[in-house]
């Protein structure tokens, strides 16, 4: 990629706001279809807890493996938008396989192929968005909030729908999301990488900085903590007597609170810095998962737990992406975001998802969500130990 002068491309192409927002909307609409309801679909066609945990872990496995390949390709060719379009096209194509099989190995193959391409898009789009925002990266949350809106539309709409129609209709909702992702992928802006003094360094040199290792480690533990939430939370609520529409409403409550935090992020970043926000999000996760594990039948406490999603995902995601953008600049942008996604949401999601099946089956939900709280606590300790001091100089400049 060729370097360009250091100015904000955001001011020159304001029309791209809605194109980027549209991609986020449909991408996270797919997440709103998949995370709360795919496990219920798998349960409806006869899979047990271990099978569900394995199939639900395929997506984070691909998020661990695939983004590094696509990030390298985008940085090497300088054609990030074309890579995103190719990945979105192939993801939609392989998704069609869910209509053709209900066997374990058939779905395993289909979900593996679909997820390999689906997981390619977001790290590249995150890098594109940050480049397009230029010096206005604190406003990332306002664009990303459209993903949260898409999640709410999907999770609430489908929650009410599945109180009246068969959950097999979930497959068609996923297809609509895949087509939307493809359409908006074709509308993404072309951005050019700004020259940076770290361009000559190998990416390994940046990754091995203590602050970067602490960031990746803490975010890995946060993803581990959320694995049981994304795998079994809906089943957990249904088993405790909540209607599917209520399940959808509880997922949506968390995301509504998340949107509020996204809009507050510029002010929060100016006052506290990314590292302090990240620490607060991990502290909130400890409380949240203890509430889910021990107070699922107390509606007021369950509502509080879902409201804490504003911190455990919204503030966490915006702060971590912001820190990654600060550490990985210039020609390392796409690979930095891809590596971050692979190590945290990928590897962390895999461990959290796969471990959740046996723990759920043998020790129950209370033990499972207590383990989630423990993982978040370890992340807090790691941040306090290494990241905050190392990031002070970086966040002060935001």
pLDDT recorded at residue 394:
45
Average of per-residue pLDDT across 116-123: 83
* CA separation for the pair 95, 86 (Å, rounded): 14
Cα-Cα-Cα-Cα dihedral sign, residues 339, 81, 143, 152:
negative
Question: 35 is written with which tokens?
Answer: 């995370």
Question: 268 is written with which tokens?
Answer: 């929060």
Of 6 and 314, the structure prediction assigns the larger pLDDT to 314
Dump pLDDT digits (tens) for 343-374.
Answer: 888 789 889 988 998 999 999 999 999 999 99
pLDDT recorded at residue 191:
59
Give burial (CB, 10 Å; 0-12/13-18/19+) of 287: middle
Q: How many residues does the chain have?
A: 398
Dump pLDDT digits (tens) for 305-325.
Answer: 999 999 999 999 889 988 988
* CA separation for the pair 108, 98 (Å, rounded): 10
User: In which band, very low, low, confident or very high, does the pLDDT at 245 lie, cut at 50, 70 and 90?
Assistant: confident
Greatest Cα-to-Cα distance within the chain, rounded to the nearest angstrom: 59
Dump pLDDT digits (tens) for 141-161.
Answer: 788 889 889 988 998 888 888
pLDDT recorded at residue 192:
61
How far is residue 102 CA from its own chain's centroid?
A: 27
Give residue 7's region: left, alpha or beta (phi > 0; psi -120 to 50).
beta
Q: Domain spans of the chain?
A: 15-396
CA-to-CA dists, residue 96 to 41, 89, 196, 207, angstroms = 16, 12, 42, 38
Of 49 and 168, the structure prediction assigns the larger pLDDT to 168
Contact 26, 184 (CB under 8 A): yes
pLDDT recorded at residue 241:
94
User: In which band, very low, low, confident or very high, does the pLDDT at 397 lie, cut at 50, 70 and 90?
Assistant: very low
* CA separation for the pair 63, 261 (Å, rounded): 25
Burial 35-60 (b: 16+ CB within 10 A, else e): bbbbbbbbbeeebebebbbbbbbbbb
Average of per-residue pLDDT across 28-47: 90
- Among residues 102, 115, 108, 92, which one has the least CA distance to residue 45? 102
DSSP string, 132-198: HHTT-GGGHHHHHHHHHHHHHHHHHHHHHHTTTS-GGGHHHHHHHHHHHHHHHHTTPPP--PBP-TT
- Predicted TM-score of the model (pTM): 0.74
At residue 194, φ and ψ (nearest 5 deg) are: -80, 145
The DSSP element (H or E) to which 286 belongs, if any, is helix 244-294
Over the chain, what is the mean pLDDT? 84
SS3 of 243, please? Answer: coil
pLDDT at 24 over 80: yes
At residue 14, φ and ψ (nearest 5 deg) are: -65, -25
The DSSP element (H or E) to which 41 belongs, if any, is helix 16-44
* CA separation for the pair 209, 216 (Å, rounded): 11
SS3 of 4, please? Answer: strand
* CA separation for the pair 271, 288 (Å, rounded): 24
* CA separation for the pair 20, 147 (Å, rounded): 10
Spatial CB neighbours of 27, under 8 Å, sequence gap ≥ 6: 121, 122, 125, 147, 150, 177, 181
Q: How many CA atoms lie within 13 A of 342 on its CB side?
A: 18
* CA separation for the pair 323, 299 (Å, rounded): 35
Domain range 15-396, CATH class: mainly alpha
Contact 272, 311 (CB under 8 A): no
Which of 58-62, 153-157, 173-177, 200-204 is modeled with the greatest confidence?
173-177
């Amino acid at each position: 990629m060729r370097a360009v002068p250091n100015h904000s491309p955001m001011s020159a192409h304001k029309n791209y706001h809605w194109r980027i927002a549209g991609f986020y909307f449909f991408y996270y609409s797919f997440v709103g279809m998949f995370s709360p309801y795919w496990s219920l679909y798998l349960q409806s066609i006869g899979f047990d807890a271990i099978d569900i945990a394995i199939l639900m872990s395929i997506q984070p496995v691909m998020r661990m493996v695939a983004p590094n390949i696509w990030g390298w390709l985008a940085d090497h060719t300088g054609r990030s938008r074309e890579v995103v379009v190719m990945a979105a096209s192939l993801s939609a194509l392989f998704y069609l396989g869910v209509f053709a099989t209900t066997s374990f190995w058939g779905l395993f193959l289909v979900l593996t192929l679909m997820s390999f391409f689906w997981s390619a898009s977001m790290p590249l789009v995150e890098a594109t968005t940050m480049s397009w925002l230029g010096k206005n990266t604190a406003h990332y949350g306002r664009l990303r909030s459209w993903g949260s809106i898409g999640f709410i539309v999907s999770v609430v709409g489908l929650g009410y729908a599945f109180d009246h129609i068969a959950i097999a209709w979930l497959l068609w909702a996923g297809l609509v999301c895949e087509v939307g992702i493809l359409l908006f992928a074709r509308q993404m802006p072309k951005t050019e990488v700004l020259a940076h003094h770290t361009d000559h360094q190998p990416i390994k040199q940046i990754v091995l900085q203590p602050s970067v290792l602490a960031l990746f480690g803490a975010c890995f533990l946060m993803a581990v903590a959320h694995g049981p939430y994304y795998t079994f939370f809906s089943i957990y609520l249904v088993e405790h007597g909540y209607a599917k529409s209520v399940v959808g409403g509880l997922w949506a409550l968390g995301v509504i609170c998340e949107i509020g935090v996204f809009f507050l992020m510029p002010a929060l970043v100016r006052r506290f810095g990314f590292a302090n926000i990240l620490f607060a999000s991990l502290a909130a996760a400890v409380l949240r998962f203890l509430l889910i594990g021990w107070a699922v039948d107390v509606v007021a406490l369950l509502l509080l737990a879902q409201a804490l999603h504003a911190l455990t995902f919204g503030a966490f995601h915006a702060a971590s992406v912001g820190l990654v953008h600060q550490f990985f600049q210039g020609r390392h942008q796409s690979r930095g975001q891809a590596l971050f996604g692979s190590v945290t949401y990928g590897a962390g999601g895999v461990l959290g998802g796969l471990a959740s099946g046996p723990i759920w089956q043998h020790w129950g939900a209370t033990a499972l969500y207590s383990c989630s709280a423990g993982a978040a606590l370890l992340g807090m300790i790691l941040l306090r130990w290494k990241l905050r001091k190392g990031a002070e100089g970086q966040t002060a400049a935001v």
